[in-house]
Chains A and B, each alone.
Chain A
Amino acid sequence: MVDDATLIRRVLAGDRHAFQWLIRANERLVYSVVWKIVQNKQDTEDICQDVFLKVYQKLPTFKFESQLSTWIARIAYNEALGKLRKRDILAQAADADEEHFQERFVELAATPAEELEARETKEVLQRAIEQLPVHYRTLLTMYHLEELSYDEMTEVSGLPLGTVKNYLYRARHLLKELLQKNHALTERYGKRTEANQARS
């Protein structure tokens, strides 16, 4: 395993294999962050390529104040948000207004119980996360899937620590509520089915 300093030195010396190594080492994190923000395969691929080209271009300015992966993830985060802002998707997606997500969550939990029962917890969660505001779902992914620390999440998102904690708390709270509602509906449907079976 090559350390960050050696890798950067080799990339700056024009070693393409070293740059390829750098991409391979960070592509999962970058792809995951960008995907959670834009939620579109083609856009994610294009943005990821742009991110690594930007990394190559900005690498001489890297000051070793954070881990290389965190610095790259921050570029990815800003690049993806920038693309959303450019297309005005951020505003249209009602990502800044929690009332909208609450409504969407209620809709999701209020789907017919028959349908809900058939759905796995994973599927319910996956769909619910897609409905979360962009910062919520991105921070959630960083913490629970990429296992980033609070400091790293602060560095990547550029948000204050308090905001990061608050967003993460609210995201988890919303998802837990949804799981509870989903469970209650499934149970109610289960009891109704049992009663119907006993009657017939």
Chain B
Amino acid sequence: MNKKWTEQALQELYETDRAAFEKLASENEDARFYQLLFTTLPQLETAEVPATLAESVLNRLEVKEAKSNRRQAIGLALLLGLLVLAGLGLVLALAPQVLVALGGLTPYLALMGSSVVVFFGIEWLDQRVVWRQWEEG
């Protein structure tokens, strides 16, 4: 006697007993179409992974980490600057006579200022060159 197969039972048979399912497919129309479906599905075209995916991820990771390092470096520089200023403030508050001694440095202030500007200018240019290499590369 022919058993009446429900859709669910057919799918379950495919998952649990492939051989019995194959056999059934030769005599049951629904099973035959399920068989066609199940054999065709793995043959469908899959999306092709771009060959450069791993390299793109690694490049982005490098840039991300470099940016994070840069932010850390800027934060550290700012902290150091604040500490120096705080130290100076403390010295001036506790020993005002130091201010008089520092007054002797006044003629050199322009030289010191321009040295600092030149130093940061060179640093900035260097960073720009490095960043361009990262981005192009």
Given contacts A31-B49, A145-B42, A145-B44, whether A125 and B57 have CB atoms under 8 Å apart is no
Interface residue A16 (Cβ < 8 Å from any Cβ of B): yes
Interface residue B27 (Cβ < 8 Å from any Cβ of A): no
- How many Å lie between the Cα of A140 and that of B38 in the bound state? 10
- How many Å lie between the Cα of A126 and that of B47 in the bound state? 12
Task: Decide: A144 and B8 in contact? CB cutoff 8 A.
Answer: no
Count residues of B near A (Cβ-Cβ below 8 Å): 28
Interface residue B22 (Cβ < 8 Å from any Cβ of A): no
Residues of A close to B7: CB separation below 8 A: 169, 173, 176
User: Is chain A's binding surface mostly helix, strand, loop or mixed?
Assistant: helix
Task: Decide: B44 and A23 in contact? CB cutoff 8 A.
Answer: no
- How many Å lie between the Cα of A20 and that of B30 in the bound state? 46
- List which A104-158 residues lie within 8 A (CB) of chain B: 121-122, 125-126, 129, 140, 144-145
A-contact 0/1 string along B48-64, CB 8 Å cutoff? 01100110111011001
Residues of B close to A189: CB separation below 8 A: none
Q: In the complex, given contacts A19-B58, A53-B64, A172-B11, what are 16 additional A-B residue pairs having Cβ atoms less than 8 angstroms apart?
A: A23-B53, A24-B54, A27-B49, A28-B49, A31-B53, A49-B57, A52-B53, A121-B36, A125-B37, A126-B44, A144-B38, A145-B42, A169-B8, A169-B11, A175-B37, A176-B30
